[in-house]
Structure formats: structure tokens, C-alpha cells
Amino acid sequence: MLYVNEILGASFCLFSVVLGAFTSHYLKKIIPDSAIQSFEVGVRYLMYHGLVLMILPQFYLDINPLVFRFFVLGTCIFSFSIFLLSIKSLIKINLNWLGPLTPVGGGILIIAWIFLLFELIDPFLN
């Protein structure tokens, strides 16, 4: 059986650790503190939701796959838009159009958490 959610979760966590180290040892020297703070938010959310994707399937096997899809989509949009916006001064490309995507990713994550909450309380309501 292919464990797509767990693989994606582990990948998110790995990427989070790599980016965290990259931030501490390199980025802090070349981008402003405000950009570092934003970048670190993206790193944290990548780790949090990577852990969710790895751990949740171990306990709840019958969760609607949409929950996981929303977690993956929201995390990618939220974190990666923050990463790119944080380093835009380094890559010399106008990435301002990504600004509105960050809250869209956050909104998708909120929807994922709401869906998960309903999935978890649904057995008690029926």
C-alpha cells in the first residue's frame, strides 16, 4: 500500500529542517529580520502540517481524503508563498503577486482543520 500522506508529511518535515538550517546559517546574514521572521513562520507551518500528515493516518484510517488534500494544498500555498516573498530581494524577480496567495493558503488550512474537526466529531453525533 502506498502511504502518500505519510510520504508527503515526511517530505514536508525534512524540507522544514533543511530550510530552518539554511535560515540560521545563511539567510540571517543576507536578508532583513522581518523577512527572516516571515520565513520562519513558513518553516514552522511546514513542520506542523507535515507532522499532521504523518501522524493522523496512524490513528484515523477512515478520514475523508479531502482533509489530507486540503492540508497539502494549503501548506504548499501558504509556506512556499512566504518562502518566495521572504527571499524576493535575493532573486530579483517581482513576486509581489504572491502576496495575496499567502492568506488563501492559510484559509485552505483553516478549512482543512474544520473538515478534520467534523470528521472527528461525526461518529459522536450519529
Number of domains observed in the structure of the chain: 1
Determine the Cα–Cα distance for residues 114 and 27; give it in Å rounded to an integer.
Answer: 35
Q: DSSP string covering 39-66, please? A: HHHHHHHHHHHHHHHHHHHHH-TT--HH
| Residue given cell 501558504 in the structure block | 78
Cβ contact 87:31 at 8 Å: yes
Domain residue limits at 34: 4-125
Q: What angle do CA 114, 118, 124 make, to 5 degrees?
A: 155
pTM over 0.85: yes
- The distance of Cα 35 from the centroid of its chain, to the nearest Å, equals 17
Per-residue pLDDT of the chain (126 residues; tens, 9 = 90+): 469 999 999 999 999 999 999 999 999 999 999 999 999 999 999 999 999 999 999 887 788 999 999 999 999 999 999 999 999 989 988 999 999 999 999 999 999 999 999 999 987 887
